[in-house]
Chain A
Amino acid sequence: MGVEGVGARVARKEDKRFLTGKGRYTDDMVVPGMKYGYFVRSPHAHAKIKSIDISAAKAMPGVIDALDGKQLLADGIGNLICGWMIHSKDGSAMKMGAWRPLAVETVRYVGDAVAIVIADSLDEARDAAEAVVVDYEELPAVIEAVDALKPGAPQIHPEAANNLIFDWEIGDAAAADQAIAQAEHVIEVDIVNNRLSPNAMEPRATLGIYDAGDDHYTCYTTSQNPHLARLVMSAFYNVAPENKLRVIAPDVGGGFGSKIYIYPEEIVCLWASKKTGVPVKWTADRTEAFLTDAHGRDHVSKVKMAFDADNRITALKVDTIANLGAYMSLFSSCVPTYLYATLLSGQYDIPAIHANVRTVYTNTAPVDAYRGAGRPEATYLLERTMETAARELGISPAELRRKNFIRSFPHQTPVILNYDAGDYEASLNAAMQAADWNGFAARKEEASQRDMKRGIGMSCYIEACGLAPSQAVGSLGAGVGLWESAEVRVNAVGTVEVLTGSHSHGQGHETTFAQLVAGRLGVPIDSISIVHGDTDKVQMGMGTYGSRSGAVGMSAVAKALDKVEAKAKKIAAHLMEADESDIVIENGELKVAGTDKTLPWFQVALAAYTAHNLPAGMEPGLKETAFYDPSNFTFPAGCYICEVEVDPETGTTKIVQFVAADDFGNIINPMIVEGQVHGGLAQGIGQALLEGVHYDESGQLLTASYMDYAMPRADDLPSFDLSHQNTPCPSNPLGVKGCGEAGAIGSPPALMNAITDAIGNNMLTMPATPQKVWMAARATH
């Protein structure tokens, strides 16, 4: 495909602007007359609002206005919603409590917004926000999901008795119970998946602009998903009709899931702009981000895994309680259900699986998708259980996995998914070889000579990306279809603009999408522009999350390219008086196969627009649109091996080696794929070693800054050893699977398995801080 096409390590087209300070993020936007919004937020985890007095704030210097939830409600602005309907096993619908963009009667977590102050400067807005007097009557709060279900727990929403949102199940309970009753061995494990904060480096921001002249709204926002933001704000929140609302997500400084959702601030700033007649910009400070960005994970599970006498898995039974926080965020309900429990078969042939999932309200920030979204929780549970099983059964963890791998495809799991392709043993073998698995015993012995405890751990993950056929997700409760759109516009001079509904916030789409076109047409990559992130430019889109941009977004581009190429061939055949089926496109030319007749690409493009000599009846122009609806998920998989040394004196863990062997199907740009894996590994290792959101019993967030929430820094991480064993995905035209989440999914169990191996104590929870490791290493067990 040439040096710039699919498979090439092309340096990124977008880098120059970021490296020279010319990136344009939402907080960089300045428009005439712009003012600054500052939110007044609840200091209490749970309280009744007795009164809000904004009069003093309105009199402060520089203040344009102060607005509260009663005004917002009176103007008919709707409540935030969860867009994926899940039903309990008794058939009842999930219990969605009201989430007002500005709380009116009750606040339900620290950070819940109650008012906004708009002023000439941010400092003046902040000063005036201090003058807003809110009279709260504190209510008892509950933080842990397990506690929220206990009798007598504080009730958070009247709609959800006992704080239970839904009690859902998947799989065959009777079959799993029967297999467990008849099993030779049953392994029982309790698994906690710690709560995390996504922490994109760019804090969330929004700029709401109401143009009274045109009765039109513009919303700049830090979104992974501008089209969905427009759809939801118009269809459900009554902010503006869709044709009068333009959403622009310009350069976005990382998302990791946290910027998929619609938050109160976009809604309130747009409404406030109309109310006050000035553009209103709000940018979160980092503490606001910790308080109000949707958190990730927070599962508590009980697991039973059954084995026969030959160490083959016969059943898996899982009981999970998932904390969804104070309100149901946009995708929260699908994360611990269809994105989690459907992955519980992992890479293994398990005849019977049953999972029961209860989701619960607590007085904490809403919890939603974070890098991997359900898949990391499933993999952590399964791979910690496999490791525990190997130890209890007394066989090698590699052999236990090898014995249970799925080996023929397609493979239907007992929990909905149908795996289309894979070679799990290839990744396992590659990882073991790269990690010198067989040489570990000698390294452990050498470390013990230095009084260090060395451990090794592996994890074999699978994920489901590129979700999914719209009809299938619709039948499972999704509120939208999960296709993607693309438009390929060939200009009269032969340069190409690709409009995509995918959104790039670090993934390098401006390069990889252009590589696809360059490879297909043989034109230089610099002659191709990728347009995204603006609902006025791109008609439709579903954004970027769940590693869908390659498998779904680029497949849409490939389909649009099919149409463009077909039309270009018709024009070329007409001009060269050849048969259309004899035209081939190569190296920027359209050629008549078997002859020396050629036309440069730009001449065919020009002919399409001069329209002086087109086939009879053909419309002028060379511009095509396609929607691509995937026919299946894609199934990236791999094996990660981590080797650690634990200092028994301090409990400090040092990662001495981290090996990742991944199967991502076909790869567009290996350099970018490796970068995605590195980033995912860092977030997964962060979860296992350092990170955790902590509230105190009253619901105050203790980890509300980078002083308290331990972000992985360069010195906490090793360099990584990557390899790829790629089986092409059969269900999309590019054969790609997706790579964005793999690192975050596969790495936590590998690291925890390594640490527990080193210290000889399996009772350790993430994050494995030195204190916890030190205590576990000393505990008799």
Chain B
Amino acid sequence: MAKVKLTVNGRAVSGDCEERTLLVHFIRERLGLTGTHVGCDTTQCGTCVVHMDGKSVKSCTILAVQASGSSVTTIEGLAANGELHPVQAAFKEHHGLQCGFCTPGMVMTAVDMINRHGGQLDEQTVRQELEGNICRCTGYHNIVKAVLSANAEMHGGAKQAAE
């Protein structure tokens, strides 16, 4: 058994788990945060994406013990004060989800993507950067629209200043 200490969505948590326990299972089963999903067993689908120290990671590819000491944000920690994050709001406005199962991972990937590109996102870049997330419902059309819209929303000020 190993001891794991994490900050999850701003709250300090700790617990014992088997060394082989994956971060996603620790989050889902020990912490009861079931917004992070498991859609495959080969790190391909991206339904398990969370942020670890501010960067998107696939929580099915990291052992809980490896994550010990880090700060993790899950989909449950994204909306602040009851207001949807701009990426969440854009997914709703542009119908970027249907069954909702891939959505948490898709949103977490999109937030990191938008943060990293400093407002410089176009359709081709968004499609390439979504490579690690599979959606079977939407055909990606509206997901791409939502990410571009959220990007404009989040970087609107910076973009205007540059112009």
- Residue ranges of A at the interface with B (Cβ–Cβ < 8 Å): 11-12, 14-25, 27-28, 30, 123, 199-203, 251-254, 256, 283, 285-287, 505-508, 671-672, 674-676, 678-683, 705-707, 711, 713-715, 717, 719-720, 743
Rank and list the top 6 A-B pairs by shortest CB-CB distance, nearest first: A21-B35, A18-B100, A253-B101, A506-B99, A706-B44, A682-B139
Nearest to A504 among chain B residues (CB) is B99
Whether the Cβ atoms of A201 and B99 lie closer than 8 Å is yes
Whether the Cβ atoms of B134 and A713 lie closer than 8 Å is yes
Q: How many residues of B contact A (CB 8 A)?
A: 55
Cα A231 to Cα B104 in complex, Å, equals 34
Nearest to A371 among chain B residues (CB) is B136
Within the complex, the shortest CB–CB distance from B108 to chain A, in Å, comes to 10
Whether the Cβ atoms of B88 and A714 lie closer than 8 Å is no
Cα A681 to Cα B75 in complex, Å, equals 29
Whether the Cβ atoms of B100 and A23 lie closer than 8 Å is yes
Within the complex, the shortest CB–CB distance from A101 to chain B, in Å, comes to 24
Give how many A-B residue pairs fall within 8 Å (CB-CB): 182
Q: In the assembled complex, which residues on chain B have CB atoms less than 8 Å from the CB atom of A743? A: 139
Within the complex, the shortest CB–CB distance from B135 to chain A, in Å, comes to 7
Residue of B39, B79, B84, B101 near A286 (CB, 8 A) is B39
Whether the Cβ atoms of B75 and A21 lie closer than 8 Å is yes
Whether the Cβ atoms of B39 and A201 lie closer than 8 Å is yes
Given contacts A11-B93, A287-B41, A707-B42, contact A254 B99 (CB under 8 A): yes
Cα A203 to Cα B39 in complex, Å, equals 6
B20 interfacial by beta-carbon distance below 8 Å: yes
Q: In the assembled complex, which residues on chain A have CB atoms less than 8 Å from the CB atom of B84? A: 16, 19-20
Within the complex, the shortest CB–CB distance from B39 to chain A, in Å, comes to 5
Nearest to A283 among chain B residues (CB) is B38
Within the complex, the shortest CB–CB distance from A602 to chain B, in Å, comes to 28
Can you list 16 pairs linking A and B with CB atoms under 8 Å apart? A19-B75, A20-B76, A21-B33, A21-B74, A24-B34, A25-B101, A201-B47, A253-B37, A287-B41, A505-B99, A671-B95, A672-B95, A674-B95, A679-B138, A714-B144, A715-B130
Whether the Cβ atoms of A22 and B134 lie closer than 8 Å is no
Within the complex, the shortest CB–CB distance from A520 to chain B, in Å, comes to 24
Q: In the assembled complex, which residues on chain B have CB atoms less than 8 Å from the CB atom of A720? A: 139, 141
Q: In the assembled complex, which residues on chain B have CB atoms less than 8 Å from the CB atom of A22? A: 35, 76
Residue of B18, B104, B134 near A21 (CB, 8 A) is B104
B149 interfacial by beta-carbon distance below 8 Å: no
Residue of B37, B93, B95, B127 near A714 (CB, 8 A) is B127
Cα A711 to Cα B144 in complex, Å, equals 17
Within the complex, the shortest CB–CB distance from B154 to chain A, in Å, comes to 16
Whether the Cβ atoms of A678 and B142 lie closer than 8 Å is yes
Whether the Cβ atoms of A706 and B42 lie closer than 8 Å is yes
Q: In the assembled complex, which residues on chain A have CB atoms less than 8 Å from the CB atom of B93? A: 11
Cα A516 to Cα B2 in complex, Å, equals 55
B131 interfacial by beta-carbon distance below 8 Å: yes
Within the complex, the shortest CB–CB distance from B20 to chain A, in Å, comes to 7
B137 interfacial by beta-carbon distance below 8 Å: yes
Q: In the assembled complex, which residues on chain B have CB atoms less than 8 Å from the CB atom of A253? A: 37, 99-102
Whether the Cβ atoms of B92 and A12 lie closer than 8 Å is yes
Whether the Cβ atoms of B92 and A19 lie closer than 8 Å is yes
Cα A254 to Cα B45 in complex, Å, equals 14
Cα A706 to Cα B41 in complex, Å, equals 9
Nearest to A288 among chain B residues (CB) is B41
Whether the Cβ atoms of B143 and A714 lie closer than 8 Å is yes
Further 9 A-B residue pairs, CB within 8 A, beyond A507-B98, A707-B42, A714-B140 = A11-B93, A15-B91, A15-B92, A285-B40, A505-B99, A508-B98, A706-B45, A715-B130, A743-B139
Given contacts A20-B79, A706-B134, contact A254 B36 (CB under 8 A): no
Cα A286 to Cα B42 in complex, Å, equals 8
Cα A20 to Cα B133 in complex, Å, equals 18
Nearest to B143 among chain A residues (CB) is A714
Whether the Cβ atoms of B41 and A18 lie closer than 8 Å is no
Whether the Cβ atoms of A719 and B141 lie closer than 8 Å is yes
Cα A581 to Cα B38 in complex, Å, equals 57
Nearest to A681 among chain B residues (CB) is B139
Cα A715 to Cα B123 in complex, Å, equals 10
